[in-house]
Structure formats: structure tokens, C-alpha cells
Amino acid sequence: MPDDIAPSPPADRGYLTEKGFLSWACTLDHKRIGLLYLGTTLLFFLVGGVFALLLRMKLMYPGEELFSNKAYNVFFTLHGIMMIFLFIIPAIPSALGNFLIPLMIGARDVAFPRLNIFSYWIFLAGIIVILASLASPLDTGWTFYTPYSATTGAAVTVLSFGIFLVGMSSILTGLNFIVTIHRLRAPGLTWFRLPLFIWSMYATSIIQVLATPVVGITFLLLAAERIFGVGFFDPAKGGDPLLFQHFFWFYSHPVVYVMILPAMGIVSEILPVFARKPIFGYKGIAYSSLAIAFIGFLVWGHHMFVSGMSDVAGIIFSFLTFFVAVPTGVKVFNWIATLYRGSISLDAPMLYSLTFIFLFIIGGLTGPFLGALATNVHLHDTYFVVAHFHYTMMGGTVIGLFAGLHYWFPKMFGRMYSERRALTAWLLIFFGFNITFFSMFILGVQGMPRRWAEYPERFQPLHIASTAGSWFLALGTVLMFWNLFRSLFRGGPAQPDPWGSKTLEWRTGSPPPTHNFAEIPTVTEWPYGFGKKEKERE
Amino acid sequence: MSGTESHGGETPAQALATAKLGIWTFLATEVLLFGGLFTCYIVFRLKYPELFYTEHLKLNRPLGLVNTVVLITSSLTMALGIAAMKQGLRRRATACISLTILLACGFLGVKYVEWSEDFSHGLYPGTNLFFSLYFMMTGLHGIHVVAGICALCWVLVLARRGRFSPEYSTPVEITGLYWHFVDLVWIYLFPLLYLVG
């Protein structure tokens, strides 16, 4: 066990050497900015998680118990807003992306370091505005559908500006990454020698840059509706509430790929390392990231099948929706082919990656149920949607994030975590997650509507199962974070390349020095050349 | 890394290319931001063609035209400023940038007169869909003009401190690209709002 060895710190703390508030608040170092994002987003993950647990507690009872239905509405709105806007959208791109992109492409920093810390400040400002708006309890849900959001007494106007700021931060980060990937690659690092995480971050950044401004203007218009009485979304003034939904989903559907693509990138990095095999279908995985980003822009209407949109539009959106499953399938098959006859070691990053594939297959394959018009009408706004969403977003993105956290933890902090504790946490998370959310698939098919605070008694057994699962999930998550947190101070020293990886970030110290590399490396091959040489050595 | 502007490459030319890629990406974002409003415009104009025709007659066309000329001229002075900076003619460059700022302020002045006129006629953002679009579009554009004036003032200060040379004038160029974009948006807004039917 590498843990509990040394309370004394490893000799070289690299970029972490400097201490003090200003060395963090005004840093231009992409690694420090990445950690700032990581700390901030994980904080909101925990807060949003507490709200989720409260919701599940209440749902154990079919009536209005524990707390009022009004409070229930507020809690699920807060759970949604925090998890979506303050955690899952920025978590992997802004935190791991910032930390890893320059290291993985052999650069000293991102293209615009000042813009980078500026976007973190805007992010913080947005968070403060959003939190300020919570002074009046929000009860709109995270989708803010008009006309309710335009008329409710809650502080939707203030919240709109908060979300605008958070979105701006997201845009500027994406812009920075696009330019960084185009301009700052190390000598010899051609596009098809790029790590697949970089490909997925590139696709992610394109979505961030092109979709986020649309939600920006949507929230500005919503605010204008409340302040000036502008009537774009108000039928009484000739406007169209469906227009709001179109605008909202034009952003919010592509943005689910902002959430999932980076996690897919993480898995594509981890699998070949722990299977000791070259990644199968490199180009397929790389191009499928771009394809997902592109097709993702064309399918937003599948959120609106029962909204009163025209049947023709519904048919077209349904048709296009199936296309987005194709590049996703390409990835899954390539991952599985990578595992085939690999020499697999089940360390924590690999366990989480395999869990990602398992859960994402379930989450992904339940997508077509919802994308098909006929089944959608039955399943729309039921727990089936909640389950599908959480299987892809929590089972996909969050598990992918956990995989990445375990994989790059030694690089980030120069210390190892306890593998034993990591495995226990994984076990709890895996079972807790499936009990919590698989029950919801069944509930959904049986007709349990989402967002209801009270429900018919016949649904109660499955709700109790789901709630019990959520406790295991919470326990596992807390244990996982405790393990990582403890290892920040007590973990044994990490080698520069503890997993035997081949991407560039492992060719420098753990933790890396401030300028990343003593000398910018020259790249001569792709980063997945596992197997051949290792076999020759044997 | 010092982190000034960018350090996309070792040579100033490479740094300029990096900065330009950055600003172009930013402008792509801006297109989508305005795109939301243009979409609203298309939807509602197709739905209510008569409303758009009758309401647009209430706008002050001559002032709109004046503003179009003012803004196009400011794009010209901006381009001349960049050209002068590249030739090392600092005095001419600062004069051109100052003139650009002046024209931009003039544009906002005319806009102020127009809006005051509208308000005095009881035309507000909430009056009807046409005026909602008019105020939102010109308002968002106006905010971009203000941002442009700030950027231009910053460039002017740098220029007067002698920070630019024929080899290095990146901030001037990227501010110029942004300014042309602001101009371009107006060139779409003018016919869409003032010249309906």
C-alpha cells in the first residue's frame, strides 16, 4: 500500500510550491486555474448532491411529508441549477481541460493566460449573482420555461444575469482551448498524433463557443421580458412560448455533449493504458467527437415532441436524433475492441472507465426510446427521462470525471491515494448508483411523472428502493472524496509516470514544474504505442 | 510565462496569428449571440408582416441613414489607423484612432436622440413586437459600440505610450477586427429595421 508512508512532502512541489491567497487568485498558470475550477465545481457537486438526497428522502413518502411541496420545487430547481450550470458543464472542460491541455500538447500554458484567469473570475462573479438570486426561492426548474419563468415572483431576472456570466466564462474558456490546440502543439505533434482527450476537448470547445451565446441571448430576452415587458415569448403580446423552448434547447441539447465528450476523452486515454494495448480505431474515435459536436446541433427538437411543435418538425428531429447515436456507437465499439485480448489491470481509474462504458451503454441505449416519437409520447416527462439523463450524465460524465480524477491525481498533486479505499468507494458508488437510478427506469415505464412531489401509493416501493440506493451512492462518493482529500496531505510520493502512460503530461515531474517542461518535447509518434515494444522486451 | 497578450509563437507574426484566431473565434460567438435576435426577427416578421411595415414608419429614417454613414466612416478611419501603424506613422495612427472614437461617440449621440424621440412618442420596448426587436437589437448593438469605444481608448493609450511599432501592433489589429464586426452588424440592422417593405 503506497498510502500512509510519508507525512513529509515529496521533495519538489513543482507548480504548487508558491503559497498564499494572491498566488492563487492572480495566477496565470493554467494548472492552478484548473485546480481553482476543480475546487469550485466539486463544492457545488457536493451542495447539489445534498439537495438530491433531500429530494430522495421526501420521495420515500407519497404524501406531503418531511417538508412542503413548495420547498420540494425549490430544492429540485437548486439541484438542477447547481449540478448543470455550476458543476457538470464546467467541471471537466474547465478543471481537467485547463490542467491537462497544455501539458498534453507540450505547451507551457494556454494561448491567452490572462483571459484564462479572467474567465475564472467571471465564473465566480456569475456564481455570486446566482447565489444572490436564491434569496427569493426559485421554483422554475432548471429549464426556465416561459410563461411561468416570465411571471413568477422568484428572482429569475437576477439569475438570468448570473447564468449569462457563467456562460461567458464558458465561451472564453472554449475559445482559449481552440486557439491553444491550433497554435501551441509541440514540434512533431500533428493532429493525428494528438491524444484523444485533446480531440474531445476540441469538439467540446466548438460547442461551447457556438451554442453558449444562444443561451446567453435567451436569458437576456427572458430578463427583458420581465423588466421591459418585451413579448417574444408571451402569446398575449403576439409572442411564442415555443420559441423560448427552441432557443433554450438549441443550447441545452448541444451542451449535454459539452458534458459527455470530455468524459469520453478521459475514457479513451485510460483504456489503452490499463489494457496495455494501442487504442482501437483512433481516427474513428477522433472524428466521432467532431461528428457528435456537429450532429448535436441538429437534434434539439426532440425535447419538444409533445410541446405542440408541428408533426413534420417532430419527424425530422426524431430522424436526426438517431444519427447522433451512430458516432456514439462508434466510440463504444472501439473501446470494447481496445479491451479485447488486452492485458487488463483493474486499478481505480480503469474500474471507473469500465463503469462508464457499462452505465453509458444503458444511458445511451435508452436514448432512442425517447428519440422515437411513438415511445416518447408515453415516456415524456416520466421518471424514464430522469433515469436516462442520470445514467448518461452521472453514470457517464461524473463517473468519467471520477476516472480522470484518480488517473491524474498523482500528476496533479505528486501523491498517491489509497487504492484499497478507492475500490471500496467504487463498489458503493456502482451499486448505489444502479439501485437509485434503475428503479427510476421502471417507475418511468409504469407512468410515474417527473417533478411530482406527491404520487400514487403504488409507486412507493420503488421510490424507497431508489432512496436507499441514493444513500449508498452518497456514502461511496463521500468515501471517494475523503480518500483523495486525505491523500493530498498523507499520500505517498508519486512517480512522474506511475501508470506507464505515453502522453506528454507524464514526461514531466509529478507535480509538474510551473513552466511544465524543462525543455519542450519533440513528438515522433502517437501516444498509444503500447504492446509491441513491451512484448519485445519480454 | 509573462502572459502578455499571447505567446502563441516565438515571433511577433506567429503571436499575431494566434491573437487573430482568438478574435475570429470570439466573433463567431458574437454572430450566434446576435443570431438569436435575428431569428426572432425572421419568425415575427413572417408572422406579422403588416405590423412590421406600419411600425417601422415611426422610425426616423434620415437619422438612421446618418448613423450608417457615421459608422461606415469610422470603419474607414479604423482601417487607415491600422495601415498607418504598420507603416510606423504613429501620429497619423493615433489621429485616426481618435477620430474613430469620436465617430463612435457621435453614433451613440444620434442613437440617444432617436431613442428620446421614440420615448416621447410613447414607443417603448414593451409597446409591440416590432419595437421590442428594435430596442433589443439596437440596444445590444449599442452595448457593443460602448465596448468598442473602451477597447479603442485602451489602444489609444497604448499607442500614445509608444507601445506599437510596424512589427508589433496586435491590439490595434484585433480591436479593428472587432470594430468592423460592430459596423457590419449595423449594416444588417439598418435595412432590417428602417427599410421594411
What ipTM does the predicted assembly reach? Answer: 0.92
pLDDT at A487 over 90: yes
Residues of A in contact with B14 (CB under 8 A): 183
What is the reported pLDDT for B3?
38
**Residue A141, Cβ density class (10 Å: 0-12 exposed, 13-18 middle, ≥19 buried):** middle
pLDDT at B1 over 70: no
The DSSP code sequence of A192-228 is: GGS-HHHHHHHHHHHHHHHHHHHHHHHHHHHHHHHHT
Beta carbons within 8 Å of B164's beta carbon, 6+ residues apart: B85, B90, B93, B158, B171, B172
Considering chain A, what is the average pLDDT of its residues? 94
| Residue contact A231–B129, C-beta within 8 A | yes
> For residue A312, what are the CA distances in angstroms to A149, A305, A316, A373, B132?
28, 11, 6, 11, 30
| Residue contact B22–A209, C-beta within 8 A | no
pLDDT category of residue B6 using cuts at 50, 70 and 90: very low
What is the reported pLDDT for A3?
46
| Residue contact A111–B9, C-beta within 8 A | no
Question: What does the pLDDT average to over A322-339?
Answer: 95
Q: Which residues of A469-488 are buried (b: 16+ CB within 10 A; e: fewer)?
A: bbbbbbebbebbbebbebbe
Nearest to B36 among A229, A230, A247 (CB): A247
Q: Which residue has the higher pLDDT, A135 or A261?
A: A261
List the single range of A175-189, A385-399, A524-538 with lowest mean pLDDT: A524-538
What is the reported pLDDT for B10?
62
> For residue A85, what are the CA distances in angstroms to A79, A164, A383, A505?
10, 10, 22, 29
**Span between the terminal Cα atoms of chain A, in Å:** 26
CATH number of A31-537, picked from 1.10.1270.20, 1.20.210.10, 3.40.190.10, 1.10.357.10: 1.20.210.10
Measured between alpha carbons, how far is B116 from B190 in angstroms, rounded to an integer?
Answer: 18
pLDDT tens column, A350-383: 999 999 999 999 999 999 999 999 999 999 999 9
* Of A356, A421, A440, nearest in space to A394 by CA: A356
Decide: helix, strand or coil at residue A415.
strand
Compute the nearest-CA separation of B41 from chain A (Å): 10
Q: Which amino acid is at A209?
A: V
* Share above pLDDT 70 across residues of chain A, in percent, rounded to a whole number: 97
What is the reported pLDDT for A134?
86
| Residue contact A232–B26, C-beta within 8 A | no
Measured between alpha carbons, how far is A149 from A229 in angstroms, rounded to an integer?
Answer: 13
pLDDT at B4 over 50: no
Measured between alpha carbons, how far is A45 from A81 in angstroms, rounded to an integer?
Answer: 11
pLDDT tens column, A408-442: 999 999 999 999 999 999 999 999 999 999 999 99
What is the reported pLDDT for B8?
45
pLDDT category of residue A7 using cuts at 50, 70 and 90: very low
Measured between alpha carbons, how far is A204 from B171 in angstroms, rounded to an integer?
Answer: 28
What is the reported pLDDT for A141?
86
pLDDT tens column, B135-150: 999 999 999 999 999 9
* Of A424, A422, A363, A426, nearest in space to A396 by CA: A363
State in words which class domain B12-194 has.
Answer: mainly alpha
Decide: helix, strand or coil at residue A36.
helix
* Torsion A488-A491-A492-A498 (CA) sign: negative
Residue of B nearest to A230 (CA): B126
Counting one residue from chain A and one from chain B, the pairs whose CB atoms sit within 8 A come to 115
* Share above pLDDT 70 across residues of chain B, in percent, rounded to a whole number: 95
* Torsion B171-B176-B177-B179 (CA) sign: positive
Residue of B nearest to A206 (CA): B25
Q: How far is CA A210 from the centre of its chain?
A: 18
Decide: helix, strand or coil at residue A126.
helix
pLDDT tens column, A282-325: 999 999 999 999 999 999 999 999 998 999 999 999 999 999 99
Interface probe, candidates A29, A178, A179, chain B, greatest B C-beta count within 10 A: A179
